[in-house]
Amino acid sequence: MKEKIHPKYFKTIATCACGATYEIGSTKENIRVDICSACHPLFTGKQKLLDTAGRVEKFKRKYEKAAEKKQKLEEARRKIEEAKRKAEEEKKKTEEEKIAEKLKAAEIKKKRKKKAAKAKPKKKAKPAKKAKKTKKKSK
């Protein structure tokens, strides 16, 4: 082995969160771990309950907020679409009303013309005057 290139090696104690301690060799002086073979569910067969309730609640709150935002967006879209539809209907109505007004005006004109035609009899055309033929007297 080359000198001065390897890290220092210590005989140390690894301490678990459950309280178990193990004497091991390591490059670190003190080691603390959250889980070990004495408390790990794979080795013990028992599942240790962590603070999963808080995590689950946090997860649910996060997605409830997202669902609320999505619902608000959908409502806003529906309102916008409804407003557009109403505007189009009003536009159609105004166009139909304009057409109806034009038709009424045309009918009124026709009725006035008929009344005017009935009220004033047409003048009869005078027959054209015939030209008189004159005979010239010969001398």
Nearest to 8 by CA among 31, 28, 24: 28
Read off φ and ψ for residue 15, nearest 5 degrees: -115, 130
Residue ranges of E strands in 19-116 = 21-26, 30-33
Euclidean distance between CA atoms 56 and 65, whole angstroms: 14
Quote the tokens at residue 139: 């001398």
Quote the tokens at residue 131: 């030209």
Strands 30-33 and 10-16, bridge-based pairing: parallel
Please classify residue 10 by burial: count the beta carbons closer than 10 Å to its beta carbon, then call 0-12 exposed, 13-18 middle and 19+ buried.
middle
pLDDT tens-place values along the chain, 139 residues long: 788 898 989 999 999 988 899 999 999 988 999 888 888 877 777 765 666 667 888 888 999 999 999 999 999 999 999 999 999 999 888 888 989 999 999 999 888 888 877 776 656 666 666 666 666 665 5
Quote the tokens at residue 26: 């390591």
User: How confident is the model at residue 35, as a pLDDT?
Assistant: 87
User: How confident is the model at residue 68, as a pLDDT?
Assistant: 94
Give me the amino acid identity at 33.
Answer: V
HSE at residue 133, side-chain half, CA atoms within 13 A, is 1
Domains of the chain with bracketed CATH = 7-48 (4.10.80.400)
